[in-house]
Structure 1
């Protein structure tokens, strides 16, 4: 009996004869069912939110593109599998993974205690600074510049913070005792900041959002905290977790993926951060 038939037999026994009902049994069934799908179809379904250029977006031909997408395709090659990019809103990525709609998340997701209860995280594959997109009138009124200390910035009275649900733009201000209005679409937040309906939005993509409306926004870069981003896999899917870690480690080796794509992404990263001295190494290596 081959491996797929063994797994299928296990599922039939567990659901039809034994009548497993525990959460752990259900999780095992979902993981094995996903494994069967991967082996039969040889397709790796990768969850990505394609609203964050230049890291993940839809290009002018209507195809997924960007840094995360290139990594996903390389991961598929590493596993000798075809890759299907599943465009999913960031707030729905973990539910999609839990339901088996995708096999792995490569979506600039930081590890948090709350998320760790639902999924398993790989070693980091990139690092990101946190910036604030600020309404320009609000910034002028409160004398906000990059020289303003972080504690002073978060102590501004009557600041209306808005943040993307499930992301650092919500939980980081909340960690400082700030009330944050949660949204599920980043476009809504950008419009609200531009129009002055909200004052501050924390996001790693503040520079590109500011470039879209430099007349009504500024970027505050005085936030010192740095996040590590990881692949996320289903809870208990040790096979996918181990493969993810092996692949990420290989990317950092001499001649690995990061060396191969540096020429492509050095100018892209420099343009994104409006700093010609920055390149790919700025987002893939931790800073002390």
Structure 2
């Protein structure tokens, strides 16, 4: 069992499935409501005046943003990165917990200043938002049944398989693109997903390798595994902010790069990811998508 799990009881309501790998930036981000903040003041100017930065995160995505059962305090890999970055910028930080579907909209309309929730940096998003330099490198994997790997060896074997997850994820889209049948879930717990693979209601769950590995290890009584050879969709994650907030981006990057250089992010990664250093590119062959 992971060292982290020995020290903290993790609520099964912390989800690893729905993450922040949202397709594009969601239709809500293109609505007229985004222009609500008409101020010409930069976000960095506002943050400095107020002495605090407001960050959106879900509070339900283990191990990046969650609540342990024995504490009401928000914690997690990216939560602690945000706290430390704010500290290095001499700012207080206020967390605004919200559902994944609302995070990008809240950044875009100025309701929050920044956000972090395992948010993939993609070309499409970079057209609409600014990002910090990446601090997490990962790739897609698959949770399958232990006895036969659900009959899946490659992504092409997803044809006709039942893939479970949220509708608006990059991983679900990859499954659909390879012929999988969507089985959509609405904010259910990890054990529900895994048991449905075990009992055959699902064949596969596609998502981030590190998140899936932790989920399977946290629920060893369920007879599923992370696929031993399937690796696809290389990804990088970072802090997201409103487009063209150059000074804010520079300040955040300064803090992030300091933390990468002095080993702080490596230490946080090893704490929350069972000894793994997600700040480094994984040494595996990953199929491009």
Q: Same fold (TM over 0.5)?
A: yes
- Please, what is the CA RMSD of the aligned residues? 3.0
Change (3 A) 1:52 1:201: same
* Long gaps (5+) in structure 1: 1-22, 271-278
The CA distance in 2 between the partners of 1:93 and 1:221, in whole Å, is: 33
2:175 aligns with 173
Give CA-to-partner distance per residue, 1:139-170, whole Å, 9 cap, x none. 638445xxx3x24xx42442111233443322
> Could you say which structure has the higher helix fraction?
1
Larger radius of gyration: 1
Change (3 A) 1:234 1:56: same
The CA distance in 2 between the partners of 1:192 and 1:160, in whole Å, is: 10
Number of aligned pairs?
A: 244
2:238 aligns to what SS in structure 1?
Answer: strand
Q: Are positions 1:250 and 2:264 aligned together?
A: no
The CA distance in 2 between the partners of 1:101 and 1:194, in whole Å, is: 41
Change (3 A) 1:31 1:133: farther
Deviation at 1:135, TM superposition (A): 4.4
Change (3 A) 1:29 1:36: farther
Residues 45 and 102, structure 1, Cα contact 8 Å, conserved in 2: yes
1:252 aligns to what SS in structure 2?
Answer: helix
Change (3 A) 1:156 1:29: closer
TM-score of the aligned structures, taking structure 2 as reference length: 0.72
Q: Which structure is richer in relative contact order (CA contacts within 8 A, separation 6 or more)?
A: 2
Residues 77 and 272, structure 2, Cα contact 8 Å, conserved in 1: no
Change (3 A) 1:110 1:156: closer
Deviation at 1:214, TM superposition (A): 3.6
1:237 aligns with 245
Deviation at 1:82, TM superposition (A): 0.6
Deviation at 1:44, TM superposition (A): 0.9
